[in-house]
Structure 1
Amino acid sequence: MYKKTWGQAYPYAWLDEVVEVTLNPEKTNVVELEFQQLEIIAGQFDQELQSVLRNLKASTFYLISSKKIKATVTQYYDSLILLERQAMENLAAYPEGHPLATTGETIIFYIRNMGIVFKKRYGKYITETGVDNSITSAKRMVVSKLLCKLSADQIGIILKAADDTKTVLASSMSVIFRSVVPYLSTDKNKNLSWDSMRKSTYHIEQSDKEVAIATLEKLILKIKGY
């Protein structure tokens, strides 16, 4: 199932199959996937993305027209963003504590890193056309995460409170963390682990609680002034 088929015209064929079918809870009983299978997928995923990058380089090497280069690069980049969106939807639906979550996070990390590479190498050719507004927003987030001036533990406290008070509704607290945390970074950590942040809320430090409260109080004062 996971072997690459050489000579395919579509460079994302294997990646699409994995993200849209194999790891998609709506199409596959993903909880039955064995740990060894998940390791194989995660191990090959980055290799396949590197293959896509090589394919893109080869596809644009002999192109003289900037218009043609732009069209090719945009097509590759938009496909990457579509892949990232499906991977995020998959991750949000995985059961808590299952190895699938680790695999899902790894895959999203690889996709986002490749998005950064695309931007650095072909940024002037990438356009916002070809994808809808939600994809465009996701695209910007891949390149530049939102920097939060709180620590990971302090962010976790606020997300936990949002779940406990039903300010944010989800099937579980894990879904909230999985959906939000991958788009955040802190001064000390650019790649936050949603699971580690969730687990930190089991043992909340008083100092972190005080900072979270002070931050929320600032927000309250700001809102009152509107």
Structure 2
Amino acid sequence: MMEEILDIYEIEPALSFKKVDASENKQRSLTIHSKSEEVFALLNELQIPYKEKTIEEVLIFLFDRLLYEYMENQSCYTKETYNKFKSTFIYDQLQMLIYHTKSLMLWLYDDIEQIPRNCRSLYRKKEISPVYGTNYLEKYEHYKLHMEILPPEKLPRYFNKLVGLKHFSVRTKAIYHALVEELEIRDINYDFMLYGKERMFSYKIEIISINNKYKVIRQF
């Protein structure tokens, strides 16, 4: 597993990557020279699953999170908006995590040609395709269809099972949007959810009735 390997060995930089002086960005917390404990710290901070996960699985999580972060503040997905996103701190840090994960993969297999064929494309992947590289709409329509037939009191149970205490991903974004639309259709008050930039995937919800009107509340 990834954490077991990283916990034992420090991987020397093995990929070509643009070196950036840490002094250029006082926010920068991870560089190509960072130690394994720093990598783990950022993975934990970003709530990216890695325990008992393979290197390939972690890479998939990282690219999915990259797409999630790009989608977070965009209403139109274009080459221009993605290029702007590439100058953000979160993009830089996710790319650093991708770099360290790929370095670990290369160290483990010793040579690119020895990497299993089904994983080689992940190793060679550098960017996401914000227009064609997501199945967001497919996921949204799938979960929306299920939510439409549920009574209000069962919506939280379904939503919490799918999302509660899980990591940020395109899937959770699709589930969140499906839920919000369903709440709007049913005229259920969800005001508290409007102030967190949709980052409410780390807690669960409940729907209660107050004066014969439904309201969404947090359930810690």
Q: TM-score, normalised by structure 2?
A: 0.26
Question: If each structure's helix is expressed as a fraction of its own residues, which one has the higher value?
Answer: 1
Q: TM-score, normalised by structure 1?
A: 0.26
Question: If each structure's strand is expressed as a fraction of its own residues, which one has the higher value?
Answer: 2
